Structure 1
Amino acid sequence: MAKRTKKTPSANAGARLLEPVATVIRGAYRLAVFVLVLQVAVSVVDTGLHGPWSSPYVCADDPSTFFDLGDFGTGELPRAFGPLPGIGVSASPTYCTDHPDAAQRFYDLAGDASAALLLFGVLFLLNRMIQTATRDGVFTHRPAHYLRLTGWWLLLGSLAVEVVQTLTHAALLATLARDYEEWGLSWNAPYTLILTALGILAFARVLRAGAAMREDLEGTV
């Protein structure tokens, strides 16, 4: 008969320390898995629904091109625009096609898929960290290991996603607009995600140091 494992007092204390974040992460991870499975089903089965993977339209905006729509509130703008007196309006074009080919569909989905993969990976690693911390305790090596993986995944993944989105967006625009060659114009470094990742890596080092101190204290008792 299999023995049931009991949580140690440190594990019980760790579980309490992780709330309510643990509940939010578990819920977000399960929701992400559900949405992923549902989206795949919608894309494979002809349900009549259209998700981001099965939309009949492919669009891309061109931030390198902009033009004035009116000379500072003189009333010469389309009815959709309503600036206050003395305010000018400018716009950038958005190109769309309702008959995208395979390459256009790939370019359109690659950016969203890379961002979704980054988010899913972060949720998966955080969920694993919470599981191990709840079972073994917060100041043990396995939670620190998963938290460290989360930091590196977020740091490198955010940079990779930005590169993928920039290149695929430019490649898509090149198939929709004439003479589009502004490959690097839409690049924006993900500073917030980079700083968050560095903070996670620093906290992972704190957990590793705490785990080592805990083992030393247990060895001296």
Structure 2
Amino acid sequence: MLAVLSGLAFVGTAVTHMLDDGAICVETDFWQNASLAKEEPLPINKGVDAASSAARLCQESPSVGQRAAELGDGLPWLLFGTLALLLFSRLLKDVMSQGPFTEVVSRRLSAVGWFVTVGTPIAGLVVGWSHSWLVDSMAPIVGLDPTVAGPQALILAGLAAVIMGKIMREGVRMREDLEGTI
């Protein structure tokens, strides 16, 4: 149920955000120590308001690409969380119906682990690229490289789930061998 609600929130956020006609803002630490002196203005595009103290850029009438890039600044994590919850709910359903030490549960645990291990850096890259593109579309800067954003420690949790899935799979095989012997 939580995964379905998160999925609806994902779709609702995407649709309402793309239909919104308000300004968009992005924060960057690139100019954090710069001054906004009139004699040497920062290289920002027309219609962009820059505040050096907050390192924040705002575009009054953003393009569709800028609005999509701003959406890509947070929506990948919502999608990642929704899919992770869906996989986890399927895992719990199998645990409740078949017990924790079965082949299906060990496979599902490994699937959740691989999804978290691979999905975390992918979602982080999408967020980083969207953020970098949005900043570059407001203030063209040569040499601004995209970064990986988000909680990359989730990779370790995913790897732990993969390892536990393999351990459980071996335990299931040992139990089946023992039952076959007895």
Question: Are the aligned partners of 2:116 and 2:158 in contact in 1 as well (CA < 8 Å)?
Answer: yes
Which secondary structure state, in structure 2, belongs to the residue aligned with residue 66 of structure 1? coil
Partner of 1:85: none
RMSD: 2.6
Match of 1:65, SS state, is coil
TM superposition outliers: structure 1 runs of 4+ over 6 Å? none
Q: Any idea what SS the aligned residue of 2:58 has?
A: strand
Conserved 8 A contact 1:147-1:204: yes
Name the SS of the counterpart of 2:118 in structure 1: helix
Once the 2 structures are TM-superposed, how far is the Cα of residue 191 of structure 1 from its aligned partner?
3.7
Q: Structure 1 vs Structure 2: percent identity of aligned residues?
A: 25
- Is 1:197 the counterpart of 2:158? The answer is yes
Aligned partners of 1:173 and 1:180 also within 8 Å: no
Residue aligning to 1:210: 171
What TM-score comes out, normalization by structure 2 length? 0.78
Matches within 5 A, 1:1-221: 30-37=1-8, 40=11, 55=20, 56-67=22-33, 91-179=53-141, 181-184=143-146, 186-187=147-148, 190-221=151-182
With over 3 angstroms needed to count, the CA separation of the structure-2 counterparts of 1:123 and 1:217, relative to structure 1, is same
1:114-151 CA distance string (max 9 Å, x none): 21121112111111111111111111011111110111
Tell me, in whole angstroms, the C-alpha distance in 2 between the residues paired with 1:39 and 1:116.
Answer: 6
CA distance in 2, matches of 1:92, 1:180: 21
What's the CA shift for 1:65? 1.4
Partner Cα separation in structure 1 for residue 17 and residue 66 of structure 2: 14
> Is the contact between residue 139 and residue 214 of structure 1 (CA under 8 Å) also seen in structure 2?
no
Distance 2:7 2:152 in 1: 27
Give the superposition deviation at 1:92: 4.2
Q: Which runs of 5+ in 1 are unaligned?
A: 1-29, 45-50, 70-89
Pair 1:43–1:167, CA change in 2 (3 A): closer
Q: Give aligned pairs, total.
A: 165
